[in-house]
Structure 1
């Protein structure tokens, strides 16, 4: 699980267009961001995860977040369809994936799809979040193309003081602090050989219907994440090999829970890279 991933680099990273609620207006120290990214890559490799590297695309502020490039299973990759500020990444991502021997599949025209960011594989199951960066129809298409059993979910929107859903000024799309599902849910272990898998998720991040669906889903054990650690600490935006978890340094409760489950937990600091609204999971696209 997550033993073979694609990363780019932080050389073109910026936060010029605030396409999510986490965007930090402070200037980015690109030199520090590059060091953080290299440190993360080193930790992944030390944990037994093979990392394939591709240079980040020029002029793409979010090209460091490869998880949003596609959803991959076996020799197939369903390419994402991203916000305007990120659309220039798509052609580049297609070239990279084709070079890696993947058959690239496009979602139907007009559909939004945030790739792995909004579609987390757990064995044969696919936890998907729609409503902000992805359309449910696109996720159904991806699940069918890659032969996954779809679990369709939705997180709660960002609401203004008048109770109205906030529309992001840069993308023109509805916004959420959990705009991608990897900000609300994490796959820790996949079900295997009759044993349950393990996920971590924040119930308060999901709509009532989605929360009830997760509560009743019996193929995995569950660790509950607080809204504070999910929203302020990027707790679930992690990568797990099934034995080692690399995650936020700002989610001590989840860190302790994972260690109590016998997992090795590593918590690097990535303060500069977080200024773009992404974290550890966002920077790794699983290829296996």
Structure 2
């Protein structure tokens, strides 16, 4: 067990976000989306700005990718690529409604100092990939079952030169890995076991015996869809139980309200891509 008094060290991060200027629930491609439920666009933008200001206030750099008309889900910037050591492994979306987002993200990376690699396999970026640079020498955790194909895990491993561990998601409410698992620092994770197959649960328990386990209540509140700098953990304000567990493990919970963006099936992490130079 981790001592409550253990000192956690934050590390400055660089993030990419895209404002919800065109955000709406115009179709349903995950169980959380309901086209009959109205979206308050103004409130969504206000909550997004609050998240961006929170991250900047913690000392992190936040780049903004302009929103594009006709792409209501572009606010979920984590899905556009997966970046490790300056190399961006691009996304190839499962659903045609989001396909053009990949082009916008590719343009961002190719206009900068990033090595962009176009994917051959279907994957949705950091939605289904997590990276722990100090776990086992640098480890990719990769989800599949609903959006990303297992073949993309092998492709990411080759592109990024890091071993990838495939984890099967079995509950459609946790359609991306980042709704069920998150990196808390460079070698520790938090996750909800019930989102994964029995075999994947065993793999996670073996690899991460010190993980912080979330319960069903916080998992369904998108509590695991979080962003952490190694000490400060930014998560959905409804996830008070998980916040307590994180605090007991030595982290500092930072609660934010993202109720409008939850209507599209995402929360904090979905809105934030990490750019790892």
Runs of 4+ in 1 over 6 A off after TM superposition: none
Q: Superposition pairs for residues 186-197 of structure 1, below 5 Å?
A: 186-190=182-186, 197=187
1:221 Cα deviation after fit: 2.1
Structure 1 residues 13 and 2: alpha-carbon distance in aligned structure 2, compared to 1, 3 A threshold: farther
Match of 1:222 in 2: 211
Mapped contact 2:20–2:72 kept (Cα < 8 A) = no
1:74 Cα deviation after fit: 2.3
Mapped contact 2:12–2:59 kept (Cα < 8 A) = no
Structure 1 residues 41 and 223: alpha-carbon distance in aligned structure 2, compared to 1, 3 A threshold: same
Q: Alpha-carbon deviations, 1:217-265, whole Å to 9, x = none?
A: 14x621111122112x101100000010100111122100111122111
Which TM-score applies when normalising by structure 1? 0.87
Match of 2:5 in 1: none
Whether 2:254 is the aligned partner of 1:266: answer yes
Q: Superposition pairs for residues 59-98 of structure 1, below 5 Å?
A: 59-82=70-93, 83-98=95-110
Match of 2:27 in 1: 17
Match of 1:209 in 2: 199
Whether 2:159 is the aligned partner of 1:180: answer no
Give the superposed CA RMSD.
1.3
Of 24-33 and 208-217, more deviation after overlay is shown by 24-33
- Specify the SS of the correspondent of 2:259: coil
Match of 1:162 in 2: none
Mapped contact 1:2–1:287 kept (Cα < 8 A) = no
Whether 2:151 is the aligned partner of 1:142: answer no
What is the rounded CA distance, in whole Å, between the counterparts of 2:151 and 2:12 in structure 1?
26
What is the rounded CA distance, in whole Å, between the counterparts of 1:276 and 1:112 in structure 2?
21
Whether 2:112 is the aligned partner of 1:116: answer no
1:2 Cα deviation after fit: 6.8
1:32 Cα deviation after fit: 0.6
Q: Alpha-carbon deviations, 1:186-245, whole Å to 9, x = none?
A: 10011xxxxxx2211111111011001011114x621111122112x1011000000101
What is the rounded CA distance, in whole Å, between the counterparts of 1:234 and 1:2 in structure 2?
24
Whether 2:235 is the aligned partner of 1:247: answer yes
What is the rounded CA distance, in whole Å, between the counterparts of 2:67 and 2:223 in structure 1?
25
Match of 2:141 in 1: 127
Match of 2:6 in 1: none
Q: How many residues align?
A: 260
Match of 1:285 in 2: 273
Mapped contact 1:2–1:286 kept (Cα < 8 A) = no
What is the rounded CA distance, in whole Å, between the counterparts of 1:2 and 1:67 in structure 2?
18
- Specify the SS of the correspondent of 1:267: strand
- Specify the SS of the correspondent of 1:140: helix
1:27 Cα deviation after fit: 1.1
Alignment partner of 1:236 out of 214, 224, 231:
224
Unaligned runs of 5+ in 1: 158-175, 191-196
What is the rounded CA distance, in whole Å, between the counterparts of 1:121 and 1:32 in structure 2?
32
Which TM-score applies when normalising by structure 2? 0.91
What is the rounded CA distance, in whole Å, between the counterparts of 2:234 and 2:72 in structure 1?
24
Match of 1:164 in 2: none
What is the rounded CA distance, in whole Å, between the counterparts of 2:274 and 2:12 in structure 1?
6
Match of 2:7 in 1: none
1:29 Cα deviation after fit: 0.9
Whether 2:24 is the aligned partner of 1:4: answer no
